[in-house]
Structure 1
């Protein structure tokens, strides 16, 4: 059964994301503050932002970058991220956003997988970013360090060249605007092809669901390299002509100070921040009365924590749902509507259809006239669904199935009063502090260790509601039956030295055999139930 969105459809213009955000910039809007660097208070107006985006696009075009090219962007949340991102798109190129916590090896992999020919980064990340780019074959001329490291072209130098933005022709429905990397429902990261139409659609779809008005100060701490930060903080914030107050990284005291000093009205967070806001004594030492709304996403937020945050800060706490492949939002409980209970992800947003499908039978779950349905996998259809995975037809066909339905890999129920609640994950991904950790990637790494014969990684819950990667390890035995010696700490150190910090294994258990099906698939549920 197809479950329609309760919201009236919204118009989705056939334009690029640049045209949506800057094409109708009025004189009044141009004078408004667009971006504020939260740590320093440095401001950039909408007019200046547009001018710098155009100049950066011109500088890229002068270097031969345009339609058909891909540029890697590895930077924290700073105003220059926005300039670089939209400058790349304005040049006609595609941006592939790189996780700022990636190792040099991760950077190399993404550059090669995306086909990027230029890297834009900052000094704070240059050691890993530049090393990764050089290992991918980049010369210094193909690396831009925005805040000037003295060795590579800087943003200021490029803007001073004053090249006009190029004339380009693209089809917004087909042209790939951004290429973030996601693990999908399982496996190693894949390039998610999101078109200009995908980004424009999702920005328009949520425009009336979050209480942001022109001039509203909103807080942007969630990383813009992640699709949640890219669409919901950057694009939505700019589309509404808000003041987007950036944070380069999360620090609770800094986070609270920015709310107080900039009179933040709406903040966008992930569950670990919600836990801190609910429990940390530091919260009571800052004035947060300006906050009216908090939207939590990236991973499920339990009702109890949401209520604690709401009661403590005196603001509404809502929850949304989505994934990179959905640009990312598909479900969201509108603010100001008390119909939807805490813990639910609300109804589908405008222009979206949903289904619940039994993973075992492939049949639709029956939706009751009253009460809650049985659990099933959420399938979603709408204009924000990705074009597919880059150079991976097999993964695309497994994710986008009959009649353009996207399989999310999440298990949910549907209540007859109109809301969905996520109850489990069919997919194997671990969500640590909102970041995707693919077990297969860690398992492959563990199997490279000379003393490890087999391994499996699963997500296990902690006392504070987090999920952490836990490795189950089978030690190698020699021909005489002697078992190799390896401690849990040595296993964790081995992995930590080879992956980004959020991918580290945080618990290790040694076992005699990894449980597997007859086809060799790891039976993760058996491991999760291990006492």
Structure 2
């Protein structure tokens, strides 16, 4: 079939940096608006821009220059916003690390990205130092945002009052961020996203999300994730809204922040949707200020979505994204209230997509007014990544010669051109919106002396969406318990990657080429 274009008209995508796109057009009125709320303090747009400029100047004074990579390892805060945009303003590339990473995971990203400066917070410093040491990055590379003895802090850097450097970069080719994603399979890879990629996706989402300067957005989804980074942080600042930051999710605190700050807009992942739709605590708070909830990062069940809308009296949008897409490709349109919230909506402006039969490679036919058969979704647009860092083979396997990116998701196209995700071709497990690559867990499990072979698959879970489930073949005579194996993994990975079910099996089903047949394992009833 011919590719399907967005039902929305194309938008202009300026050839500019992320900094200029967000901060370059601030008006006198904008300067006094509250940009960020953190605890009982606030930061106006004027104060934020000044801090970003000073942070960029301080980085330049430390020798950070265009082409350098700066690691940013921090929870949501005003400090994250200042550091992130300061890194980009200095012409460097930001690689954000998951706040829950274990030292060896930190070391892997530092080595692969080539980061030469490390920005973090004191609560994460012990793990950060251990990971940096493993990667060969010295203590003198560190900036700790909150004042910590022995390290330069955010107040120290801003107090230098250094002018932002005069730099010139090509936004179409200069890397703004280097987030890490497992793509459709395998271990995490550096996703090369330019300034134009990020600017494009903000511009693509603006007419569909309709965030304005009157909106107060609760930012609990992590800024280190591309969803939090470009949709929550960057798009809200571009729209001149107010961000209320939370460093971690706690339901009572989440509801308190909505009530006290009169939040109007929520970006969530499905586990939060479950709590909002079902938890009795929700009824104890005044959430009447809310007008919109956007769910992304993992599929949201239609029945659950309808229950949430009824309970809160809000509009609900579902979206689809990937790190490789900067991240959004589809959103539920606001001008069609009858469209099922079980769909991921329609393509954002300037984007086209199609479905391809994964067995034959042939395009799946679609006729308006009818629902198509299933196929893998391919997308093309200005938000598609440049490729995977140092991995041309994975890049070529993901982006075809015509520029279409293979998402690894199996879709059906509805009567109105809306999209339904019905299955996954890719092997990734999505736990609470976080990517968990089975291959990474299998590698950890195989270091256990009692394990002869293993396969890890996704197992359905109401709260988490999916949880990692391991099928383990033991060495002859070995007898560790399921709990012992789960503890072994938990000591070596971030909390969201923990194996939560272990089943013992005589042999792992594999193809003639030796590939694990995960589909043969997924349907088995859990025994532990």
Specify the alignment match of 1:415 in structure 2: 414
Specify the alignment match of 1:148 in structure 2: 147
Structure 1 spans left out of the alignment, 5+ residues: 478-482
After superposition, what is the alpha-carbon deviation per residue over 1:292-315, rounded to whole angstroms, capped at 9, x for unaligned?
Answer: 000000000000111111111110
Mapped contact 2:368–2:417 kept (Cα < 8 A): no
Distance 1:171 1:122 in 2: 31
Alignment map for 1:6-405 (pairs within 5 Å): 6-37=7-38, 40-405=39-404
Distance 2:250 2:226 in 1: 21
Distance 2:207 2:411 in 1: 25
* TM-score, normalised with respect to structure 1: 0.98
Cα drift, residue 162 of structure 1: 1.1
Q: Which moved more, 1:188-197 or 1:122-131?
A: 122-131
Q: Which moved more, 1:277-286 or 1:455-464?
A: 455-464
Cα drift, residue 108 of structure 1: 1.0
How many residues are matched? Answer: 524
After superposition, what is the alpha-carbon deviation per residue over 1:15-43, rounded to whole angstroms, capped at 9, x for unaligned?
Answer: 00000001111111011100011xx2210
Cα drift, residue 370 of structure 1: 2.7
Distance 1:332 1:342 in 2: 10
- Given candidates 471, 478, 482, the residue that maps to 1:484 is 478
Structure 2 spans left out of the alignment, 5+ residues: none
After superposition, what is the alpha-carbon deviation per residue over 1:148-193, rounded to whole angstroms, capped at 9, x for unaligned?
Answer: 1112110100111111000111000000000000000000000000
After superposition, what is the alpha-carbon deviation per residue over 1:427-455, rounded to whole angstroms, capped at 9, x for unaligned?
Answer: 00000010000000000111111110000
Mapped contact 2:332–2:341 kept (Cα < 8 A): no
Cα drift, residue 402 of structure 1: 2.3
Distance 2:139 2:407 in 1: 40
Mapped contact 1:211–1:293 kept (Cα < 8 A): no
Distance 1:194 1:280 in 2: 38
Cα drift, residue 134 of structure 1: 2.7
Cα drift, residue 215 of structure 1: 3.3
Distance 2:415 2:8 in 1: 16
From the superposition, tell whether residues 22 and 508 of structure 1 become closer, same or farther in structure 2 (CA, over 3 Å).
Answer: same
What secondary structure sits across from 2:354 in the alignment? strand
Specify the alignment match of 1:436 in structure 2: 435
Distance 1:6 1:17 in 2: 26
| 1:3 is aligned to 2:15 | no
Specify the alignment match of 1:473 in structure 2: 472
* TM-score, normalised with respect to structure 2: 0.98
Mapped contact 1:98–1:107 kept (Cα < 8 A): yes
RMSD, aligned α-carbons: 0.9
Cα drift, residue 463 of structure 1: 4.6
Distance 2:324 2:105 in 1: 21
Distance 1:422 1:79 in 2: 35
What secondary structure sits across from 2:346 in the alignment? coil
What secondary structure sits across from 1:422 in the alignment? strand
After TM superposition, what 4+ stretches of structure 1 lie above 3 angstroms from structure 2? Answer: none
What secondary structure sits across from 1:360 in the alignment? coil
Distance 2:377 2:364 in 1: 10
Distance 2:462 2:496 in 1: 18
Distance 1:440 1:463 in 2: 24
- Given candidates 510, 524, 529, the residue that maps to 2:523 is 529
After superposition, what is the alpha-carbon deviation per residue over 1:134-157, rounded to whole angstroms, capped at 9, x for unaligned?
Answer: 332222221000001112110100
Distance 2:130 2:439 in 1: 25
Specify the alignment match of 1:480 in structure 2: none
Distance 1:265 1:189 in 2: 35
After superposition, what is the alpha-carbon deviation per residue over 1:44-85, rounded to whole angstroms, capped at 9, x for unaligned?
Answer: 000010000000000000011011100000000001101000
Cα drift, residue 269 of structure 1: 0.2
Distance 2:382 2:161 in 1: 37
Q: Which moved more, 1:446-455 or 1:361-370?
A: 361-370
| 1:497 is aligned to 2:496 | no
Distance 1:464 1:147 in 2: 34
What secondary structure sits across from 1:73 in the alignment? strand
Mapped contact 2:216–2:261 kept (Cα < 8 A): yes
